[in-house]
Amino acid sequence: MAPKHAISTRLWHWVNAAAIIVLFMSGLNISNAHRHLYWGDYGFDPRTAWLDVVRFPGWATIPGHYNLALARDWHTLAAWPFGLGVLFIWIAMLANGHFRRDLVTRPGDWTPAGVIASIKAHSGAAGGVAHGYNPVQRILYGLVFGVLLPLMLFTGLAISPGFQAAAPWLIEVLGGRQSARSLHFIAAFAIAGFFVIHLVLALADWRLILAMVTGGRPAQHKKEPEA
């Protein structure tokens, strides 16, 4: 029987985790260069900003001191494995059935009863160990894979000087360069929030981390009633 986590999933998981950490920390250094966010095509006057961002300390940035050029180099370096990884994991999930089997939500997943049942299953209140993803996990992972990761990728390309000339239409779709920058910032912190929650839950049960290294025991999927 196949392991719970395919080798493609495990490989992507660790490479992507490293890439996101470097992207986030170097991104904080880049943010320190102009700590204001705008909507539209242009933004330079802090009085028109919709958000004034705090200055991030050196311990939270790459490099550990303000250096815009070096931070951009780190950001670009990590962007390659991140972008190629998003493409890779989507191809793998569609090919091995992981997306259809574990991430596609059902109407019942979005109901209060579905949410309560998933919380009980995760806490063990329902008895035994739940196999597969519960409704809340399907929704959250679906949002991460289907919305946040692609949004990070496309907004990052849109604000990249080297890509703007190749695909000016992408900036237009996102509502302007400054809108793309704001969406990039929002998506980055949304992923960071998910990353922290994911890490806390994983540390609460070391077997989850071990399974992401070894593959874990074969998953057993219960057939759920149609909602």
d(CA 33, CA 214): 42
Q: Is residue 25 part of a domain?
A: yes
Q: Is residue 226 part of a domain?
A: no
d(CA 43, CA 102): 42
> Tell me, what's the pLDDT at 202?
80
Q: Is residue 173 part of a domain?
A: yes
CATH number at residue 87: 1.20.950.20
Q: Is residue 112 part of a domain?
A: yes
Number of structural domains in the chain: 1
The parent domain of residue 106 ranges over 7-40+47-214
> Tell me, what's the pLDDT at 126?
41
Q: Is residue 221 part of a domain?
A: no
What predicted TM-score, i.e. pTM, was given to this entire model? Answer: 0.83
Q: Is residue 227 part of a domain?
A: no
For residue 126, the 8-state DSSP code is T
| Residues 143/191, Cβ–Cβ less than 8 Å | no
Q: Is residue 220 part of a domain?
A: no
pLDDT tens per residue, the chain (227 residues)?
556 677 888 899 999 999 999 999 999 999 999 999 999 999 989 999 999 999 999 999 999 999 999 999 999 999 999 999 999 999 988 988 878 888 888 887 778 877 777 666 655 544 444 446 777 888 888 899 999 999 999 999 999 877 877 788 999 999 999 999 999 999 999 999 999 988 887 887 777 788 888 876 665 544 444 43
Which two structure tokens, joined as six digits, stand for 169?
């239409």
Q: Is residue 132 part of a domain?
A: yes
Q: How far is CA 58 from the centre of its chain?
A: 24
| Residues 69/205, Cβ–Cβ less than 8 Å | no
